[in-house]
Amino acid sequence: MLVTREREQAKSFSAKLKEQGALPVEVPLIQTSLPQQIDETVLAHWNEYDWIVFTSQNGVKYFFELAGSLPEEKRPKVAAVGEKTAQALQKKWGPIDLVPDEFVAESLAEAMKQHVQKGERILLVKGNLARETLRNELQSFAQVTDFIVYETSINKAAKEELIRLLEKKELDVITFTSSSTVRNFMELLDGCPLDQWLKDVAIACIGPITKQTAHELGMRVDICPHTYTIDGMIEAMNDYFK
């Protein structure tokens, strides 16, 4: 079972897979780092916003690397787009003001309409490849400032191992946990006989956005959970193979 997510996050995913009797193979297709340029003005005044919105665990990680901590009485309200992002944020911040029931950007924007006063200022913490959907939705009722706290890039060193695993038919499932992992997989293997290599391999995507990216790039998807989390993904894979 191929785990394609970033190396640091792959460990917990692999541990859960092993608990289910699977044999995970980690080949990270993305790597993240602090941006080469940081908006110092935003960094100096982040606590002056009414809301801070976090869309990923990496956003939480790199935000606190840059911003440090702040006394509780001076903190803005915070929202997180998903369960794992919320858990990471809670460890750093404490109680969270808003987490949507469905873990996608569209649901967060809809939920925030009920809690944000018109014209309030929102700091949107994100990576350089984040979709514009959430920003566009939030701008309809608030003032939104982007704060790019990390950059995502392709792990080119993964290509050789990917080809080896696929040529030797050592994989039963390939898991994709973000659109970036799908795009990088297709870019690294451009020109390879993917139709042949993937014929007997199940493709699992963590949620509808990742699934949509896979379809747009010509890849079929066999598994996609109703709950867009790692646990939901593992449950859906169990159901598929039963």
Mean pLDDT per 10-residue segment, the chain (242 residues): 92 94 96 94 93 94 88 82 89 90 74 89 94 89 96 96 97 96 97 96 95 97 93 95 90
pLDDT at residue 177, rounded to an integer = 94
pTM, full prediction: 0.82
For 131-175, what is the HEC assignment? CCHHHHHHCCCCEEEEEEEEEEEECHHHHHHHHHHHHCCCCCEEE
- 3-class SS of residue 27: coil
pLDDT of residue 174: 98
- Determine the pLDDT at residue 101: 76
What distance in Å separates the CA atoms of residue 180 and residue 172, rounded to the nearest whole number? 21
